[in-house]
Amino acid sequence: MASFHAVIIGGGGTGAAVAHDLTLRGMKVTLIERGELTSGTTGRHHGLLHSGARYAVKDKESAVECIEENTILRRIAPGSFELNDGLFVALTDEEAAYSHELVEACYDCGIPAKRLTREEVLAREPNINPAVKLAVQVPDATMDAMISFGVSAVMRAPVFTKMRRPSTKALNDGSLTSTISMPELDRPAALRIGRA
């Protein structure tokens, strides 16, 4: 029986991406999911690769993290995105005025944002609300990356689904220790997993 280097619990986007990454680094990985792959939150997400623009004015730290992750994901998961950008559409004078603050905040966070005139917006999106005054274009995208990582995990690592839940207890340092019975692995494995 092979001894596995990493056991990942949870076959959502996070677990699948970690499995994808570790297997590419040559590590052996086992992925365990109590339901079906992506049956948790991942199966319900909207598929938006955030540019961070929606956080740029009020939460710069999150905005910077988003654009950094956005850039990394485009590089490491090519083909998983429809690079269709995002438009913040101004329908009122007040929203049009806010676009200056938005573009400036994006610039501060390293998010390439661009103001489009009404004509440019309509040329790009002819079916948009004709009352549009202008829009701010940001590098959002539509993604299948979480699915891609799941496929990669299935192709590169043993994946066990519908496993029994591990019995878990908290340790004094706040981390969790779990024991899970893995019949397919022919022996129980003691796992140390980080705090959630």
Ligand X SMILES: Cc1cc2nc3c(=O)[nH]c(=O)nc-3n(C[C@H](O)[C@H](O)[C@H](O)COP(=O)(O)OP(=O)(O)OC[C@H]3O[C@@H](n4cnc5c(N)ncnc54)[C@H](O)[C@@H]3O)c2cc1C
Q: Site residues (CB under 6 A) for ligand X? A: 9-15, 32-35, 39-42, 44-48, 50, 163, 165-166
The answer to whether 57 and 105 have CB atoms below 8 angstroms apart is yes
- By beta-carbon proximity to ligand X, the closer residue of 9 and 105 is 9
Which backbone phi and psi does 59 adopt, to 5 degrees? -145, 75
Q: Which residue is nearest to ligand X (CB)?
A: 12
Q: Which is nearer to ligand X, 84 or 92 (CB)?
A: 84
Min. distance of Cβ 46 from ligand X in angstroms? 3
Give SS3 for 90. Answer: strand
Closer by beta carbon to ligand X, 122 or else 189: 189
CB of 166 to ligand X, least distance (A): 5
Q: How far is the CB of 93 from ligand X (least distance, A)?
A: 30
Q: CB 58 → ligand X: shortest distance, Å?
A: 18
Nearer to ligand X, 14 or 177 (CB): 14
Whichever of 13 and 52 has its CB closer to ligand X, that residue is 13
- As given in the structure block, the two tokens for residue 142 are 């539509």
Q: CB neighbours (10 Å) of residue 39?
A: 15
Phi, psi (rounded to 5 degrees) for 15: -60, -40
Q: Give the nearest distance from C-beta 98 to ligand X in angstroms.
A: 23
Which residue, 81 or 134, is less far from ligand X as judged by CB?
81
Report the nearest approach of ligand X to the CB of residue 195 (Å).
14
Cα R_g (the chain), whole angstroms:
22
Q: What CA–CA distance (Å, rounded) separates 73 from 20?
A: 13
Structural element, H or E, at residue 124: helix 118-124
Task: State whether residue 176 is helix, strand or coil.
Answer: strand
Asked if residue 32 lies in contact with residue 19, where contact means CB atoms within 8 angstroms, the answer is no
